[in-house]
Structure 1
Amino acid sequence: MMDWDEGTEELRDYRTVSRGSRSDIWFNQNKNRIRNAAMGKGAPRDYELALEWAVRANRVQTINQLNLQTFCDDHLGIDCSGFVTNYLIACGKRNYTDNAVRNTGAASYFQANRAVNDPNTIQQGDLLVWMDGNSVRRSPGHVAVVDSYVNQSVAGGNMRVVEATGSRHARPKLLSSMYAIERIIDPGRGVPAMILEVRRHGTSGSRVAVMRV
């Protein structure tokens, strides 16, 4: 389970989604996948099972589209590394296991030997890993997927990026946004990989490294 403190919103949502009886055969057959979704790490099928369990356990009292969507909005989400890991699974670049989806954090995607160090070669499917200065960001980190890239200055941005947040109050929780690359820092002299300074969501200064998996 994620390292959530007692009383936090994340822990309350996890318990709401994943609480079940040891005597319930259906729950015990599917509890690991339900817990993956409750952690914000699941594959699409995991979220289907978590929602089915909410219905079976009477956590959604009246079954209709609005109430099901409200339960999802209030208690379920996918965080950035959960989204990226499942994206790679869907692309055939990772194998689905409970351990892979639960324990692959954003910072783990930074590997200097997988860095893209030439901006001319950035391509769809590359990953952006957030940096603090010249080091990978941790606690929390962030990771996203490049959807498209144009190696030139374009009004509104030149890189489309897809990213997720597990925040309960985020609407939407999956974003497709245009980034603008404002500065390129080449590797060397303490810089382990090419770092891009980007403007995202209207704010400059985010630092990202580009990884290819």
Structure 2
Amino acid sequence: MSRQWCSMSSGDPLDHRGPTPGPMGIGDASDPSRAGTGLPSSTPGTLGVGDSACALATGPLVLPLTEAGCAELGPHDFKQLYRELEVPYVTRDTGHTCSVQADVHIYVNDGITARRSNGAEKDALQSIVRQNARRAGAAAIAANRSAHNVAIAHAYYGKGAPWEYRIYLAYALTYGRATLASLVTYCDTTAKLGLDCSGFINSFLVSTGRTDRERDIDVYARNPARTSYAQIQPFDLLIWQRSDGDASRHIAIVDHVTESNEMVVVESSGSKGGLASSTYTVESVAGDIFQVDRGLDEDGNAYSDPSSVKIVAYQ
């Protein structure tokens, strides 16, 4: 059930005069007191997915162009930032500034037609960004407009950080592309918002400061390889090996290792239903190639064969 309380905002719902560098003000952007928070000044506590709450606040809601507090997160907890994503928005009819929790989790892949996000929806949101920028009519908004367009594109391609999906959904809710009632359908079916495997890995490593830039899977594959279960560490990368020796095709990350040759692995995978944490078991190792049992797929079925993977240090 939705929980609501309200604050009136003035001006354009997405006012681009927010404080610099880069946060997007929603509503009246004249009050910088909450710059960089991305949330109302008071909140109701934990929201469930689809729950909405309106804050008793007079300043703007802002969407920072970064994700604060990530440095200490492991892969599983970072995954939860997508699955419990707090999204500020403004109601068009009343001007209330509100927040809702969204669940971004499906597997997308721009190289597979059936797994591709909705390009028409991306274009519609980027058009809204341009129109809103013209209404604001200030040169200072140019950097924000560019950053918002990039964020929407990253989300479309399955490569976004949590804050980029927050920007995408803030525009969608504020300008009526999505409603609270349709939010789950909008994320999963209409916009088809999610991540591909390398998108999640790169977002985690960059957002937590463990690497300075995104890398291709085959670049990570050159990192020092593990040759025994005892060597496996948190944040190690699992890189699937093709039988034909061609380029690697999937990547996942270790959250933590347990006893009995087991480890908890986080990934975005079609067979796992998107973003998932699951227990893997090392069945054997020959040189630097591990045979791993991936546990259960999204339907609760065991995989028929183990996967051949390299396990490498993340840097």
Measured against the shorter chain, the TM-score band is 0.7 to 0.9
CA contact (8 A) 2:110 2:157 kept: no
Q: Tell me the residue number matched to 1:175.
A: 276
Deviation digits for residues 141-189 of structure 1 (CA, Å, limit 9, x no counterpart): 1100112223635xxxx12111113x5xx77421111112111111xxx
Deviations 1:84-129 (A, max 9, x none): 1111123311236xxx3xxx33333211x42122321101111100
> Larger Cα Rg: Structure 1 or Structure 2?
2
SS of equivalent to 2:279: strand
Relative contact order higher in (CA < 8 Å, ≥ 6 apart): 1
Distance 1:110 1:136 in 2: 12
Q: 2:117·2:156 contact (CA, 8 Å) conserved in 1?
A: no
Asked if 1 retains the 8 angstrom alpha-carbon contact of 2:117 and 2:157, the reply is no
Q: Which residue of 2 aligns with 1:148?
A: 256
Aligned partner letter, 2:312: M
Query: Residue 265 of structure 2 aligns to a residue in which SS?
Result: strand
The match for 1:73 among 176, 180, 188 is 188
Q: Report the structure, 1 or 2, having the larger helix content.
A: 1
Matches for 1:1-213 after TM superposition, within 5 Å? 4=111, 8-11=113-116, 13-19=118-124, 20-21=126-127, 22-25=130-133, 28-60=146-178, 63-64=179-180, 66-74=181-189, 75-95=192-212, 100=214, 104-111=215-222, 113-133=223-243, 135=245, 137-138=247-248, 141-150=249-258, 152-153=260-261, 158-165=262-269, 172-186=273-287, 194-200=288-294, 201=296, 202-203=302-303, 204-213=305-314
Distance 1:171 1:198, change over 3 A: closer
| 1:18 to partner: Cα distance | 4.2
Residues paired across the two proteins, number = 184
Query: Any stretches of 5+ residues in structure 1 without a counterpart?
Result: 187-193
Stretches (4+) displaced over 6 A: none
Structure-2 change in CA distance of 1:171 and 1:149 (3 Å): closer
TM-score (norm 1): 0.74
Partner SS, residue 208 of structure 1? strand
2:193 counterpart letter in structure 1? L
CA contact (8 A) 1:129 1:136 kept: no
* Counterpart-to-counterpart distance in 1, 2:239 and 2:132: 41
- Secondary structure at the aligned position of 2:209 is classed as coil
In the alignment, the residues of structure 2 paired with residue 212 and residue 12 of structure 1 have an alpha-carbon distance, to the nearest angstrom, of: 31
SS of the equivalent of 1:92 reads: coil
